Amino acid sequence: MKVAVIQQNSQENVQANLARTKELVLAAAAEGAKLVGLPENFAFMGDEADKRRVAEDLSLDGPIMAALRDLAKESGAFLFGGGMPEKSGDDARPFNTSVLVSPTGQIIARYRKIHLFDVDMPDGSHSYRESRSTSAGGEPCVAEVHGTKVGLTVCYDLRFPELYRALTALGARIVTVPAAFTLMTGKDHWHALLRARAIENQVFVMAPAQHGKHPGNRQTYGKAVIIDAWGDVLAQCPDGEGYTTARLDFAAQDRVRASLPCLSHRRL
């Protein structure tokens, strides 16, 4: 299966972000990508009060969801929409939701981010409290794409290996990690954590990413990447907006799992 991950520099203007998303997805699909990943906050990255206003009920076609449906149909690819604000029972705290849409425009899965980013940067430059403006999900999510099971996660989830082991136990052969990793944590931890999740679960990892400067003096690391089940980097975006593609070899994944059967050696 040929897949692609998108790297964006999303801002506060939803329509401008969606227009750029469309350009990048259609370009990746034109190269044959059948599964395309969008980063966390692909449609909106800005003030938390504004995020609440753009939150959508996924059963209705708001601007973001309608754009994802139309883009999936136009591209002919499965799309997972990084993290987007989904209305919850708390108007002040929408979910941060990754949505998987089929080439027919149907929502086939939604994953609500479980682990929320409540962190003080070691250098004292920023303090993040995602839980103040976001409701947490509670359930792992696996869906099928062209006969292959895909596990959905979002950004900060990456630091919790038990979630990825649960997805693997549910049959995932690909895991998705759409992210808006901070520059400080990304430069030291992004590749190490992604490769670890790939190696320990013998899965492909697709990690679309935000890159550059955003409102609120935020800066993200980028380096959207695709990693194989041995932990090798198959493709990576350079700095700036763009996309990268790779072909996932599931026979090679089977050989990794057969020659090093650590998944069957688990004791805990």
**In-domain check, residue 152:** yes
**In-domain check, residue 66:** yes
Per-residue pLDDT at 124: 67
Poorest-confidence range of 9-13, 42-46, 119-123? 119-123
Tens-place pLDDT, residues 139-160 = 999 999 999 999 999 999 999 9
**In-domain check, residue 266:** no
Per-residue pLDDT at 120: 87
245 pLDDT above the threshold of 90: yes
Establish whether 113 is a catalytic residue.
Answer: yes
Per-residue pLDDT at 125: 67
Out of 34, 51, 113, 223, pick the active-site residue: 113
- As a whole number, mean pLDDT of residues 96-103 equals 98
Tens-place pLDDT, residues 200-240 = 999 999 999 999 999 988 999 999 999 999 999 999 999 99
Per-residue pLDDT at 268: 86
Output the domain CATH number for residue 126: 3.60.110.10
Establish whether 155 is a catalytic residue.
Answer: yes
**In-domain check, residue 268:** no
Tens-place pLDDT, residues 182-191 = 999 999 999 9
Domain that holds residue 71: 2-260
DSSP string spanning the chain?
-EEEEEEE---S-HHHHHHHHHHHHHHHHHTT-SEEEEEETSS--S-HHHHHHH-B-TTS--HHHHHHHHHHHHHTSEEEEEEEEE--SSTTS-EEEEEEE-TTS-EEEEEE--S--EEE-TTSS-EEEGGGT-B------EEEETTEEEEE--GGGGG-HHHHHHHHHTT-SEEE--B--BHHHIIIIIHHHHHHHHHHHT-EEEE-EEEEEEGGGEEEE---EEE-TTS-EEEE--SSSEEEEEE--HHHHHHHHHHS-GGGS---
**In-domain check, residue 46:** yes
- The total number of structural domains that make up the chain: 1
**In-domain check, residue 248:** yes
258 pLDDT above the threshold of 90: yes
Tens-place pLDDT, residues 20-78 = 999 999 999 999 999 999 999 999 999 887 889 999 999 998 999 999 999 999 999 99
Per-residue pLDDT at 122: 73
Out of 40, 56, 86, 130, pick the active-site residue: 40
**In-domain check, residue 267:** no
**In-domain check, residue 265:** no
Establish whether 262 is a catalytic residue.
Answer: no
Out of 34, 86, 155, 237, pick the active-site residue: 155
